[in-house]
Every structure is written in structure tokens, then in C-alpha cells.
Amino acid sequence: MGYGAPLTGFSGNAASEALFPPYNSVAIDSFPKAAVAVDTAAVMKSDSGITCNLPIPRKRARDHSTINRLLSTSYPSPAHYQKNCGCFYFLGEDISIQIQQQQFDLDRLISQHMEKVRMEVEEKRRRQARRILEAIEVGMMKILRNKEEEIEKMGKLNWELEERVNSLCMENQIWRDVAQTNEATANALRCNLEQVLCQEDDMI
């Protein structure tokens, strides 16, 4: 039914070129030839059904590090692409728009939070200023009330003093009238006494 027939238009070279970029040949050519030869021999013997224990080369760790270094230099990293083109990729998809949208949403949330904090701070300042003004008003009202009480006390004291002065003036006037009356009485008595003395002289 054609299971064994090769696919037309798709060769081994094309498959290898599709899976690996052409510049990977540099990394493949740079592999140590001893490691490649040993792996090829092991694969051929396993395919032929012959099993044998091949000695493990001592430089395998160093060869693997060399291979990894070559692969890392052969394949540009995604961060390199992101740095060069300014795009962000995740699983082969460009997520720059999503990141920008999230950044925009984050900036919007931050600005809203800052505006809310600013309004709360202003409200707190207004309330604090209102409380300060109320405290000042209460203090001033208390001071004014005390001053009014003092003024009332001084008014009462002044009225009492005026009443005392008026009473003293009236008393002074009374004593002056009494003095004048006594003086008149004394003058009358002196005149009477002089008349009596004159009459006695005449009789002698």
C-alpha cells in the first residue's frame, strides 16, 4: 500500500534544514571528532545486534561543556531578540500588547490610588482645619464670656461706688445744713447774751 515509499518533495536534508537552521553546522562541525566517532560506532553496533561495553572517554564532561557553549553561542537567546526588537515573546507569541495593556492598567490604578490618597489627605486637612477653627472659636467665645462677666462685675462695682458717692454727697449736705443751723443758733445765742450783758450794765 505504499508504506515503504519515500515521501515526495521531502528529503532528509530538507528535514534537517527545517528542524535546525543552517548556521548550526558551525556547532556541529565544532564538536570533538572523537566523541562523534565513538557515538557513531556505538549506534552502528547496537543496530547490528552486537553488544559490547565501550570505554567512556574521560573528556566527556569537558566535551559536553564545549558543546553547550557552542550551542549557546550558535542559538541567539530570546532575550537577545527581545532586546533588539523591543518585543516580548512567550511560547512563540508576542505578548508586548498584553504587557503594555497591563502596564497601562497598572499606571491607571496607581494614578487613581494617588488621586484617592490626595483627596483623603485634603479631606483630612480640611477636617483638621475645621477642628482647629472650632477650637479657636470655642476658646475665643470663652474668653469673650469671661470678659463680659468681668465687665458686668465692673459695672456693678461702679454702680455701687456711684451710689456710695451719692449717699456721701447727701450726707455731706445734711451735715453742712446742720452746721449752718448750729452756726445760726450760736449767733442768735451770742446776740442774746450780748443784749443781756448790756441790760445788766445799764441797771448798775
Query: How many CB atoms are closer than 10 A to CB 66?
Result: 16
Instruction: Say what the pLDDT of residue 40 is.
Output: 44
Instruction: Say what the pLDDT of residue 87 is.
Output: 55
Instruction: Say what the pLDDT of residue 183 is.
Output: 94
The more confident residue out of 87 and 92 is 92
Instruction: Say what the pLDDT of residue 156 is.
Output: 94
Distance, CA of 202 to CA of 195 (rounded, Å)? 11
Instruction: Please write the tens of the pLDDT for every residue from 170-201.
Output: 999 999 999 999 999 999 999 999 888 888 87
Instruction: Say what the pLDDT of residue 114 is.
Output: 96
Instruction: Say what the pLDDT of residue 99 is.
Output: 85
Task: Give the cell for residue 25.
Answer: 553546522
Give the contacts of 73 (CB within 8 A, at least 6 positions apart).
Answer: 27
**Average of pLDDT values for 144-151?**
95
**Average of pLDDT values for 117-125?**
96
User: Which candidate, 13, 30, 31, places its Cα nearest to that of 22?
Assistant: 13
Instruction: Say what the pLDDT of residue 97 is.
Output: 84
The whole-chain average pLDDT of the chain stands at 71
Instruction: Please write the tens of the pLDDT for every residue from 35-73.
Output: 444 444 444 444 444 444 444 445 444 555 655 555 444
57 touches 63 (CB < 8 A)? yes
Instruction: Say what the pLDDT of residue 90 is.
Output: 60
pTM over 0.75: no
Give the contacts of 115 (CB within 8 A, at least 6 positions apart).
Answer: none
Distance, CA of 83 to CA of 96 (rounded, Å)? 12
Task: Give the least confident one: 3-7, 111-115, 187-191.
Answer: 3-7
Judged by DSSP in three states, 90 sits in strand
Judged by DSSP in three states, 30 sits in coil
* Residue 76 pLDDT greater than 80, yes or no: no
Instruction: Say what the pLDDT of residue 3 is.
Output: 41
> Cα separations (Å) of 40 from 5, 11, 47, 161?
26, 21, 11, 133
Distance, CA of 148 to CA of 154 (rounded, Å)? 10
